[in-house]
Amino acid sequence: MAVTFYWYPKCGTCRKAKKWMEENEVDYEPIHIVEEPPSKQRILELMDKSGLPAKKFFNTSGKKYRELNIKDKIKNAGDEEMAEILASDGMLIKRPIVTDDEYVTVGFKEDEFSETWLNY
């Protein structure tokens, strides 16, 4: 069974993660995060399964994040509101997100990928 790989092809971190997946023969289904951003409900599921705080799902180094002043918008926002903001624009989402519907990784850290996806 393939893992779901939400990515943006122009993102260097995503390309590194994709290369790692290929080198380690992890079967994945790529989903272009900007063309097909996950729904609010899907984001809430990913947040829940990841165990990470909702704020960790934001691409804080992204141009859109700064332009739209998201930092202030989410300061006192709940998970539902943050998921709605994330679902509105794939460029706001930290990437890549990889999931098998049980485990979720956000971003690319080789040791975390090895721990989570190596024996997949």
Residue 85 has pLDDT above 80, yes or no: yes
Look at residue 16 in the predicted model and tell me its pLDDT.
Answer: 98
According to the model, what pLDDT value does residue 5 have? 98
Sign of CA dihedral 117, 51, 87, 92: negative
Cα 110 to Cα 13, 47, 86, 89, distances in angstroms: 11, 21, 25, 26
* Domains annotated on the chain, with CATH: 3-117 (3.40.30.10)
How would you classify the pairing of strands 28-32 and 104-106? unpaired
The pLDDT, as a whole number, for residue 59 is 97
Confidence of residue 119 (pLDDT cuts 50, 70, 90): confident
Residue 120 pLDDT > 90, yes or no?
A: no
Residues 22-48: what's their mean pLDDT? Answer: 97
